[in-house]
């Protein structure tokens, strides 16, 4: 496994739409990417990581859930959502920026796992927000694009520390 470079805002990769991985047996390259993304996410102490954030235009995301488990989601699709939450959000690709975003409180995602099997997973609160945030990355969207309010430097010091 290897630590990958996290692409920062301004890099065109973050604004591109990712290609599906596709069904069937996953390649060694895809499995290695999943492992490397896991190591990178842990090292960066983030809540999620999408493949375009490491320069790969494939529909792959990792999300840390409420149980501190890293979920690997290949070709994820949000199939249901409910409720609403407005919370502070940040991004490993947009260091130093924080914003209030409006996201669903509960989100259900259908995806493929590393064994090529489709599954469904539901997350609430922070996990639901992370699902939405990371899947947005796959469509070239950043959390600041539709933020309710981008925090000023003074607000960051007050709320984030």
Q: For residue 82, indicate whether it is catalytic.
A: no
Confirm whether pTM is higher than 0.75: yes
Q: Which token pair is 155? A: 């607000």
> Domains in the chain, start-ordered, CATH in brackets?
12-159 (3.90.45.10)
Asked if residues 66 and 126 have their Cβ atoms less than 8 Å apart, the reply is: yes
- 7-37 pLDDT, tens per residue? 999 999 999 999 999 876 789 999 999 999 9
Q: What are phi and psi of 142, to 5 degrees?
A: -115, 155
Give CA–CA dist 161/158, Å, rounded.
6
Asked if residues 131 and 63 have their Cβ atoms less than 8 Å apart, the reply is: yes
* Catalytic member of 134, 146, 154, 155: 134
- 91-107 pLDDT, tens per residue? 999 999 999 999 999 99
Asked if residues 125 and 66 have their Cβ atoms less than 8 Å apart, the reply is: yes
């Amino acid at each position: 496994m290897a630590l990958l470079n996290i692409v920062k805002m301004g890099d065109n990769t973050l604004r591109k739409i990712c290609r599906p991985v596709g069904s069937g047996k996953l390649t060694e390259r895809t499995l290695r990417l999943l492992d490397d993304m896991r190591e990178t996410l842990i090292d960066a102490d983030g809540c999620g990581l999408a493949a375009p954030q490491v320069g790969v235009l494939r529909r792959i995301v990792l999300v840390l859930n409420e149980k501190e488990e890293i979920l690997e989601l290949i070709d994820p699709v949000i199939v249901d959502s409910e409720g609403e939450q407005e919370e502070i959000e940040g991004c490993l690709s947009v260091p130093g920026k924080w914003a209030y975003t409006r996201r669903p409180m509960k989100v259900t995602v259908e995806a493929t796992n590393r064994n090529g099997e489709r599954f469904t997973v539901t997350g609430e609160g922070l996990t639901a927000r992370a699902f939405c945030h990371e899947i947005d990355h796959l469509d070239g969207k950043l959390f600041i694009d539709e933020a309710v309010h981008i925090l000023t430097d003074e607000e960051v010091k007050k709320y984030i520390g």
